[in-house]
Amino acid sequence: MMKISPLEIEQQTFNKAFRGCDPVEVSAYLEMLAGEFESLIAENAELKEKVKELSTRLKSYQELEQTLQDTLLTTQKTAEEAKRNVKKEADLIIKEAHLEREQMLEEAKVRLAELSKKISDLQMSKESYLSEFKAFLSAQWHLLESIESGAGFTKGPVSTKRRRARPQGKELDRILDSLEKTGPQQEAGPEARS
């Protein structure tokens, strides 16, 4: 089918006949124009249908895009809300940990004070015990000296065994000082030493 433009229609000339234009030629040309216009009308209708279909699809895609944007916005809001909740929970955990630490420190201070008092009491008991023990040893030493000098006793036969030298003066003080320096586990009671 021959395609015709509006300019060709305008410039179309007809051969002259006895009474004007040749009716057969004009008729053929008009028939050709009618066919072209019929084709154009059908094509136009088809294009309108495609435009309608594409408009429907475009609207569907726009709705889908809007749904996706709404979903994305909702997801972002949910994520921000979750982030805020996690931060609040983390802050609460940290606050509880600080409170627990403070409580543990306070309990440790109380326990330290109790232990310091016990240590002080034990040191005082040790000093008292050592003082009593020194006095006991000193009394025992004086008793031994008085026995040895013969007060109220008669000397019997002299033993051939060698006598052990008894500590005197400074040596006694040195022994007592070493007893003070030994720990409570190493100290024995007066009964064990006499």
- For residue 182, which phi and psi values (nearest 5 degrees)? -75, 150
Tell me the average pLDDT across 3-7: 64
Give pLDDT tens digits for 22-81.
777 777 777 788 778 778 878 888 999 999 999 999 999 999 999 999 999 999 999 999
Binned at pLDDT 50, 70 and 90, residue 190 comes out as very low
Structure tokens at 63: 């709705």
DSSP character for 71?
Answer: H
Token code pair at residue 2: 């021959």
How would DSSP label each residue in 87-149? Answer: HHHHHHHHHHHHHHHHHHHHHHHHHHHHHHHHHHHHHHHHHHHHHHHHHHHHHHHHHHHHHHT
What pTM was computed for the model?
0.38
- Kindly compute the dihedral angle of the four CA atoms of residues 58, 64, 67, 68, in this order, to the nearest 10 degrees: -110
What is the per-residue pLDDT across 167-186, written as a single tens digit (0 to 9) for each? 556 666 677 677 666 655 44
Distance CA 83, CA 75 (A): 12
Percentage, residues of the chain above pLDDT 90: 44
- The answer to whether residues 133 and 190 touch, using CB atoms and an 8 Å cutoff, is yes
Mean per-residue pLDDT for 16-23?
Answer: 70
